[in-house]
Chain A
Amino acid sequence: MGKPFSKKNDTEILILENRKWAESIARAVARAWKLDPEVDGLIGSALEALVECANRFDPSRGIPFRAYARRRVHEAACDAARSTKAWAEGQVFSGSLEAKARTTAYELLRRFPELRDGYIPFDREGSSLRSSVRQLLLGATIIYLKESTDSQDSFDFHDYKKLLLAISNLHVAHQWIIWKVYWEGYSLRGLAAEWKADPLTVIREHQAILNYLLGVFNKKQGLSPPKVRPSLKKVISNQKLNLGTVPFLKFLEELGNE
C-alpha cells in the first residue's frame, strides 16, 4: 500500500515545484501573442497540462521532468491562446497583419516543435544559427503561402512562382513530405508515425529539402535536388504511395490555370 501513497506525494511535489515554471511558459506565450495570460486562460491551461504530465511522469525513464513536460505545457498554452476571443476576432486569415502572423506562428510551432522545448531547430550536420533562422523563415513562408491560397486573400501566383517551381523540382517523395507537412498539417513526428518511419529520417529529409530550397534562392551553383535516403525509399515502397500522383502537382496545375 506504500507505493501509491509515494506516487501521489511525488506527483504533488512535481506540481508544486513546477507550478511557477509552467506559469512562466504561459506568460511567454501570452507576451509573444499580446494576450493576457490570466484573463485569456493560458495559465489555467498550462497548469492543467502540468498536472496531467505530473500524473503520467515515469522517473524510471531517466528524463528530467521539465524536459518531459515542457512541450505539452507550451502546446496547452498555445491552444488556449488560439481559443481566446482576442484570437478569434482576428481568426479569419484576411484579418490584420498581427492575426496573420499569429496564425502562421501557431502553425510554425507545430512544424518545428523543438521550439516548444526551448531549442532552435538545428541541423546536426553543422548548420549555424543563421541558417536555422533562414529555415524558420522559409517554413513560415510556405505556411503563409498555403494559408493565402486557402483564403484566396491577395494571393498572387507570380509572387511565389519560383518557390513553387523549386518544390515541383523535388523528388516526388520529398514533394509528399512538403504536402503532408505544410498542406495537410502533419507534424514531422506525426508523419513519421503514419509512414511507420524513423522520425529522425523524416526530420533529416525535411531539413535537406529546406536547405535545398534555400540554396535555390541563394543561387548556389551546381545545386541539384536532394537524393532520397534509402530508408525513406523503403518506407514509401512499404506504404505503397503512388508517387505519380503527388497532390502538389495537381495543386500547381490548378493554380496555373487560374
Chain B
Amino acid sequence: MNDNEKKVKEISRIKKAEPVKPVERVSKIESVSRVRQPTLALSAKERQKLLKLLEEEANELVKNGLIPEKDKDVVTKAVEYALTSSFIDDDSDVE
C-alpha cells in the first residue's frame, strides 16, 4: 500500500436516527392589510386640506432655509398647480 494513502482505521458506528418531529400546523394567516398609495381622488374638503398642508409645509421649509422667502410663492404655486391639474372630477374609478 502506498504510504500516502490514508488508512481507514475505524468506521464510526451508525447513530440512531432521531425521530422526525411532526410539522406544526401552520397558524392561520391574519388578513394582510393592503398598502395603498394615497390617491388624488379627494373630496372638495380633502383637497382644501391638502392645499392647506402644502402651505404649512412651505412655511416650514422657508423657516428652515430650504426655500428662499422670495421664491416661496412660485414654488408653492407650482406644487399647487401640479396637484390640482391631477384632481379629476370623474375620479371615482381610481383604485
Contact = CB atoms under 8 A, between A and B. Distances in A.
B66 interface: yes
Contacts of B95: 64, 67
A28 B65 contact: no
A119 B88 contact: no
B32 interface: no
Interface residues of B, number: 41
A108 interface: yes
B65 A162 contact: yes
Q: What is the interface of chain A mostly: helix, strand, loop, or mixed?
A: helix
Interface in B20-66: 35, 37-41, 50, 53-54, 57-58, 61, 64-66
Nearest to A120: B38
B88 A24 contact: yes
A130 B75 CA distance: 16
Nearest to B81: A105
A104 B40 contact: no
A108 B88 contact: no
Contact of A115 (B54, B66, B86): B86
Given A120-B39, A130-B53, A130-B57, A74 B86 contact: yes
B38 A118 contact: no
Nearest to A20: B90
B88 A101 contact: no
Contacts of A101: 73-75, 77-78, 80-81
B53 A133 contact: yes
Interface residues of A, number: 57
Contacts of A100: 74, 78
B90 to A, nearest CB: 5
A228 interface: no
Contacts of A120: 37-40
A137 B58 contact: yes
A32 B84 contact: yes
A217 B65 contact: yes
Contacts of A79: none
B66 A119 contact: no
Given A101-B74, A124-B35, A138-B66, A118 B54 contact: no
A66 B85 contact: no
B5 to A, nearest CB: 47
A141 B53 contact: no
Contacts of B41: 118
Contact of A108 (B70, B71, B79): B79
Nearest to A161: B65
Contacts of B74: 97, 100-101, 104, 144
Contacts of A27: 89
7 contacts: A64-B93, A101-B75, A118-B94, A136-B82, A140-B75, A141-B66, A144-B78
Given A64-B93, A101-B74, A144-B74, 16 more contacts: A24-B89, A24-B90, A25-B88, A28-B89, A32-B82, A104-B78, A105-B79, A115-B40, A115-B82, A120-B38, A120-B39, A137-B75, A140-B78, A140-B82, A162-B66, A219-B64
The 3 closest A-B pairs by CB, nearest first: A104-B78, A105-B81, A101-B77
